[in-house]
Amino acid sequence: MSTHYALGIDIGGTNSAYGLVDKKGNVEYENNLPTTDFILPEDLVSAIFEDLKEQNLLDSIIGISIGAPNGNHFTGNIEYAPNLSWKGIVPLAKLFHSKFNKPSQLTNDANAAAFGEKLFGNATDLQNFVTITLGTGLGSGIIIDDEIVYGEEGFAGEYGHIRVIPNGRICGCGRKGCLEAYASSTGVKRSITELDSENKDDSILNKIENPSAKDVFESAKKGDLFAKEIVEYTAQILGSSLADFACFSNPKAYVLFGGIAQSGNNFSERVKFHLEENILHVLKGQIEIRTSSLHNRNAAILGAAATVFLKNN
Ligand SMILES: [Zn+2]
C-alpha cells in the first residue's frame, strides 16, 4: 500500500519551500524554488506540480496546505503581502486546487506552527497551548480545547501587536510600544542602541560591526554585562506579557520557537521567572514554558502538512 502524504508549502518573499510529509512527520521529499523567479503565482504552482510529477509523487498527495505571509485562511487568498512581488489579491489555494485537483488551503505561518507542535513537536500532549514564534516579528498561534482560534477575520493571535509599553518604540504596524518591537530578533537588535545602561560603553557588542540578536545572546553567554541586561529585559517584557495573555486563554504551556528561544535554556527560564512574577494568583505555577523541538527541522513545511492531517481526522 502506498503512503499518503500531505504537501506542505511555505511561501516566502525570497524562497518557497515545499515537501511531502507523512502522518508521523517524516519528510519524504523536499525542494525549494526562488519565489522571485515567478512573475505570476500560477507559474510557481505549475513548477511545483511538474517537479512532483517528475518524482512520480502526485498520486500519493491527500491534501495541500500553504503557509504564506498575509494569508487569509477563510478566503484562501494572499492579500496585499508587502514582501511578495505578487501584488493585490492572489487566490493561491484556488490555484493549487485547480492544478492538483486536491483539497487545498491557506494558513498563516503562526497557526501552522501551532499545528506543527501539536502533531509533530513539543505539544503533542496538550489541548491548550500557545505557540510564540520569535523571528523578525512575533507571532502566536492559539489552541484552546484542541481547536485553533481564528477569530472573525482570521487575525486572532496577532499578539506581537499588543502594546506593552505606553508610548514605547515605534512598531512596523505604525503604533507605539508593541510587544514585537521588544521581543523579536529586531527588538533585541533595537535594544542594543535604545536601551540605556552604565555597562554599555564597556560592552563587547561595541566591537562587533552591526551586531545581531544572535551576537547579543552569544555575548551574554560570555558574560558581557550589557548583553546580559538585554537578554533579561527581553525576557522580562515577554514573560510579563505572557502572564497577561494567560488570563485570556489559560494555556497549559507556551511553546517558544525561533532563534531567540533556541539560544539556550537560560532565556526560557528567565521568561518563566517573569511570567511567575506577574501571573494571576490562581494560575501560579500552572504554566510551562517549553521550547519547540522543530527548530532544526523544516518547521514551516511540517506545520503546513500538520494542518492537512489535523483537518482530515
Ligand atoms: Zn505593532
The CATH number that applies at residue 83 is: 3.30.420.40
Q: What is the pLDDT of residue 312?
A: 59
Examine the domain organization and report whether 28 and 71 are in the same domain.
Answer: yes
Examine the domain organization and report whether 268 and 177 are in the same domain.
Answer: yes
If we measure between CA atoms, which residue out of 286, 307, 312 comes closest to residue 141? 307
pTM for this predicted structure? 0.90
pLDDT, tens digit, 9 for 90 and up, residues 25-61: 999 999 999 999 999 999 999 999 999 999 999 999 9
- 27-34 and 147-148 as β-strands: parallel, antiparallel, unpaired? unpaired
Q: Which amino acid type is present at position 189?
A: K
Q: What stretch of H or E contains 43?
A: helix 41-54
Query: Distance, CA 133 to ligand 1 centroid (Å)?
Result: 15
Q: Looking at residues 207-229, what average pLDDT do you find?
A: 95
Query: Distance, CA 190 to ligand 1 centroid (Å)?
Result: 15
9 by Cβ neighbours in 10 Å (0-12 / 13-18 / 19+) ranks as buried
- The 10 Å CB-count burial string (b at 16+, else e) for 156-175 is bbbbbbebbeeebbebeeee
d(CA 62, CA 20): 10
**Neighbouring C-beta atoms of residue 109, cutoff 10 Å:** 22
Examine the domain organization and report whether 135 and 97 are in the same domain.
Answer: no
Examine the domain organization and report whether 76 and 182 are in the same domain.
Answer: no
Examine the domain organization and report whether 133 and 252 are in the same domain.
Answer: yes
Helices 225-249/185-194 angle, 10° precision = 130
Query: Distance, CA 165 to ligand 1 centroid (Å)?
Result: 11
- 147-148 and 138-144 as β-strands: parallel, antiparallel, unpaired? antiparallel
Q: Is 70 exceeded by the pLDDT of residue 307?
A: yes
Query: Distance, CA 112 to ligand 1 centroid (Å)?
Result: 21
If we measure between CA atoms, which residue out of 131, 148, 161, 155 comes closest to residue 75? 155
Into how many domains does the chain fold? Answer: 2
d(CA 56, CA 240): 51
Query: Distance, CA 164 to ligand 1 centroid (Å)?
Result: 10
| Domain enclosing residue 74, as ranges | 5-114+298-311
Most confident by average pLDDT, 69-78, 133-142, 274-283 = 274-283
Contact status, residue 203 vs residue 224, Cβ threshold 8 Å: yes
Query: Distance, CA 169 to ligand 1 centroid (Å)?
Result: 9
Measure CA of the first residue to CA of the last residue in the chain; give whole Å.
Answer: 20
Q: What is the pLDDT of residue 119?
A: 95
pLDDT, tens digit, 9 for 90 and up, residues 77-108: 998 887 788 989 999 999 999 999 999 999 88
- HSE-CB of 259 using CA atoms within 13 angstroms: 17
Is 149 among the domain residues?
yes
Query: Distance, CA 302 to ligand 1 centroid (Å)?
Result: 28
Examine the domain organization and report whether 149 and 10 are in the same domain.
Answer: no
d(CA 200, CA 223): 13
The helix/strand/coil state of 143 is strand
